[in-house]
């Protein structure tokens, strides 16, 4: 099963894309034991790599859920009944409901950041003036 039917969802999506690639990416970007990171990246690129790693881990988690939940529903305990799952576009288990659930944490994070900003707001008086020769 792993070499045939589950290769894409288990090996490629869950193991490689959802686990190995983010770990390697974070190992190069993140500081280790208070020291500087292995490779020096600009701040914006480092944040983008953090975001990419988080998205890849999320893909791995959803792939794990797919393999466990859908896989558990496809095989009966006696292995005599094998069913087929075809995802619908609408309904409680459909693609649209899944996309709404996937987007909900990001929408909530945006709302909470706007309502309760996690950083100190800087006024224009606190911003230092740049020298004319810069």
Q: Which tens digits make up the pLDDT trace of 55-92?
A: 999 999 988 888 887 777 766 666 665 566 677 889 88
Mean pLDDT of 19-33: 85
Give the Cα separation of 49 and 66 in Å (integer): 25
CA 5 to each of CA 2, 9, 12, 37: distance values in angstroms, whole numbers, following the listed order: 6, 8, 12, 39
Look up the pTM and report it.
0.58
79: left (phi over 0), alpha (psi -120 to 50) or beta: left
Give the Cα separation of 134 and 106 in Å (integer): 39
């Amino acid at each position: 099963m792993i070499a045939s039917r589950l290769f894409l969802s288990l090996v490629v999506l869950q193991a490689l894309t959802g686990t190995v690639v983010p770990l390697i990416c974070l190992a190069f970007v993140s500081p280790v034991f208070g020291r500087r990171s292995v490779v020096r990246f600009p701040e914006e690129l480092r944040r983008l790599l953090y975001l990419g790693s988080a998205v890849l881990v999320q893909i791995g988690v959803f792939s794990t859920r797919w393999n466990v939940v859908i896989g558990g529903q496809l095989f009966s305990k006696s292995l005599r009944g094998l069913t087929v799952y075809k995802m619908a576009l609408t309904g409680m288990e459909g693609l649209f409901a899944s996309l709404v659930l996937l987007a909900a944490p990001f929408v909530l994070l945006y709302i909470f950041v706007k309502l309760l900003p996690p950083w100190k707001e800087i006024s224009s008086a606190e911003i230092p003036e740049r020298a004319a020769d810069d």
